[in-house]
Structure 1
């Protein structure tokens, strides 16, 4: 009897512990959509300001004006209100049925000093903005990325952006699905206004998602708004597409891949990726990461198999190059995988992370598969963002920050060793070619 009572007591305590653990986080309810309308008469005043990396010691400044005659110039310098340089660029606009955009200006400024704050004025009028350049190039130079996907523009988006702002990041990586305009073009303007306080101060590097396509066969070409508003750098290895490109900062080579452009062996994206990976020098950039939209590994019930065809076409390329991490969006939840290749745990494989939980209007993907795969380490359906802190050439710290009401709570925290590090035992130079003759001709995902 005493043993039975003891077992009963222990079971009761365990159940209480489980209940306490489950009750430790109660997911807050949805928050309403935000929409910041433009108003007033035509103006040359800058609006929807954001900056992005545009090559070594260069930054692209982008903004919208409602006036068609506003100049595409940026005055800038290292002291407030004292501009020592001026740069000129281009402007473009687009139509979408009855909608007519303002003028989107894109100006590349530089050369710039590393890790320096610059003050700038767009078009020679309006308020002053400022941005901070990333750290210098070098294999052992620390740098911090904020990582987010599927932002949209809801109350949770605003909370996510505020948390990111407090993270002291250097560069933001956005894994697609920016505005969730979904054909209603004024929402692109609203999104631009919403992110201006953040994107005007630190470089944002973005790739496209399915909600950014907005194409109508024979009527409207896809990505019309995205390509006009968010111009990204062309890669030195020959990419002439705004949908896929690469860039380097500090000791990191970043691949921005397109889930919704052709990716078979005959495609321009595939050939570009081969050429880009061939020029990666791990002695200069020991870290190699990729960002795309539709995840290749996913144990959520939502969007199952959406990334499989792109994975079949390109996974071996990234594996052979010893890519360290791949960040994806699309699934509105967080999930971190261990190193994996060909659906199996592999010490030389890639760490895949789904981070499509920025705050979109469609809500969270709350149903995961009952049986968690062996390669899935942590999964949770909550809004939030990630921070990737490259400490040095060999080690990085990844943290995922859940939006718990209005606080950013660290819910997942790991240290990562680069595959280029001597202790990883995954030599890049000695990696063997796998599956080249068995690759199938594949086409991009549908929407």
Structure 2
């Protein structure tokens, strides 16, 4: 590549960065000072065969199926062979292949194949492509009834902090990971999406990862690239059709026979009368709390936040004003958010006051991104805020039965998972005072 072309590309990157800063006004240009950042890790494709499957991850589709997604460098069949033992891949499924362009970048071939029906709480082995790849992967399906264990981590990115978080999550023996937005921190540099896919593959290829979008997934550049969420929607396809949603940015699913999980989009339409609002309203009405006692919601921008970071943003304040009543009336049990790079747990709350029939709000945007921690909190601490700490880490939610769950937060400042906060939760569906 000539020097002139290199300079042009460098100028383009600078322009893109400025566009991102303007697009996310308040995200980069915020009033608090972040600590020094750790460098972004770039994970190359390490297989001798450049067309071998990579960036493998799985997600739940319905209650007895899994979507397996992966990327190859050149066209190849979207086929999965699978079975209950490494040598007996008697079953097979085929799917779809797609790709996308982003400025000068052209993605590899993105394959999506749904396999099943599958037995619950069972290990399956699978191979990808046709002819199948030599590598044998394995996954474990979630249980069909409680108990179930979720790992929860937001704002992951791909730094040394991220590596620690992923190592700790891997040791937690979780059934499913929930991620409330900001995955790769690619910020328009598309090969960072590829790097991220390789970084998380060891975990994401074995357990379902259910994700929603954050501000770093928007990747819209005025005039130059007007579409939002191009890479996110292409690479991380979620089962939105299963929940009658018309967008990959918000959807819901049932798991373990007792948990209804709702993923909302902080960076798409959410006002009263919008598509997302109407979908959420209808989705909540369908939940039978006798059969599905737990309702969990994930968003990116937190509705409750006593950190100085990200105060006064419409994605938090306006979305809360539009949707908080819906969640309260439906007796949602807990709301997880990201965005703020710190941890905070609130009491049950509604309209800024403690309310025994409101959801517990937990901010867990501390997975390990390149921007560093949000270390400054508002003083004095609000009474509704029960625990807060600016450390990287992850959480686990052990749902033992139809009434009790244990929430635990583990910090990893010293690259060790240290239990720092925990709380027992009881579902609102078991609280007679909250019956409508």
Q: TM-score, normalised by structure 1?
A: 0.86
The secondary structure found in structure 1 opposite 2:220 is: coil
The correspondence of residues 130-149 of structure 1 with structure 2, limited to 5 A, is: 130-136=138-144, 138=145, 141-149=146-154
Is the alpha carbon distance of 1:60 and 1:237 closer, same or farther for their aligned partners in structure 2, counting shifts above 3 Å? Answer: closer
Deviation at 1:425, TM superposition (A): 2.1
Q: Secondary structure at the match of 2:196?
A: helix
Measured in 1, the distance between the counterparts of 2:126 and 2:330 equals: 39
> How far did residue 218 of structure 1 move?
4.0
Q: How far 1:38 sits from its partner (Å)?
A: 3.3
The residue aligned with 1:390 is: 399
1:312-360, Cα deviation, whole Å (9 max, x unpaired): 0000000000000000000000000000000100010110000000000
What does residue 354 of structure 1 align with? 363
- Picking from 399, 407, 411, the partner of 1:402 is 411
| 2:71 corresponds to | 64
Within the alignment, does 1:208 sit opposite 2:213 as a pair?
yes
Q: Which residue of 2 aligns with 1:426?
A: 434
Residue 135 of structure 2 corresponds to which residue in structure 1? Answer: 127
1:81 aligns with 2:90: no
Structure 2 contact 158–369 (Cα < 8 Å) conserved = yes
1:407 match: secondary structure:
coil
Aligned-residue offset at 1:95: 0.9
Map 1:248-263 → 2, pairs under 5 A:
248-250=254-256, 251-263=258-270
Q: Could you tell me which of 290, 297, 302 is aligned with 2:304? A: 297
Paired with 1:131 and 1:413, the residues of 2 have a C-alpha distance of: 29
- What does 1:26-425 align with in structure 2 at a 5 Å threshold? 31-38=38-45, 43-67=50-74, 69-123=75-129, 124-136=132-144, 138=145, 141-220=146-225, 221-250=227-256, 251-306=258-313, 307-421=316-430, 423=431, 425=433
Alignment partners' CA distance in 2, 1:418 and 1:370: 31
Tell me if structure 2 keeps the 8 A contact 1:227–1:242. Answer: yes
Query: What residue ranges of structure 2 are gaps of 5+ in the alignment?
Result: 1-34
Contact (CA 8 Å) 1:46, 1:126: kept in 2 or not?
no
What is the Cα deviation at residue 424 of structure 1? 5.2
Structure 2 SS opposite 1:227: helix
1:370-421 Cα offsets, whole Å, 9 max, x none, are 1111110000000000000001000000000000412100000110110001
Q: CA RMSD in A?
A: 1.5
Q: Is the Cα–Cα contact under 8 Å of residues 302 and 331 in structure 1 kept in the other structure?
A: yes
1:45/1:126 contact within 8 Å kept:
no
Measured at CA, do residues 224 and 42 of structure 1 come closer, stay the same or move farther in structure 2, by a change above 3 Å?
Answer: farther
Task: Report the secondary structure of 1:201's partner residue.
Answer: coil
**Alpha-carbon shift at residue 43 of structure 1 (Å):** 3.5
Q: How many residues align?
A: 396
8 Å CA contact 1:77, 1:120 repeated in 2: yes
- Asked if the contact 1:237/1:275 (under 8 Å) is kept, the reply is no
- Listed as ranges, the gaps of 5+ residues in structure 1 are 1-27, 431-447
The CA distance in 1 between the partners of 2:372 and 2:159, in whole Å, is 10
Structure 1 residue 32: Cα displacement: 2.9
CA contact (8 A) 2:183 2:217 kept: yes
SS at match of 2:318: helix
The TM-score, its normalising length taken from structure 2, stands at 0.89
Contact 1:115 1:135 in 2 (8 A): yes
CA distance in 1, matches of 2:359, 2:50: 49
Q: Deviations over 1:74-116 (max 9, x none)?
A: 0000001210110001111111111111011010000000000
Deviation at 1:235, TM superposition (A): 4.6
Secondary structure, counterpart of 2:308 in structure 1: coil
Following TM superposition, by how much is the alpha carbon of 1:284 offset from its aligned partner in structure 2, in angstroms?
A: 1.4
State how far apart, in whole Å, the 2-side matches of 1:145 and 1:80 are: 26
CA distance in 2, matches of 1:283, 1:81: 42
Greater Rg over alpha carbons, structure? 1
Give the superposition deviation at 1:30. 5.4
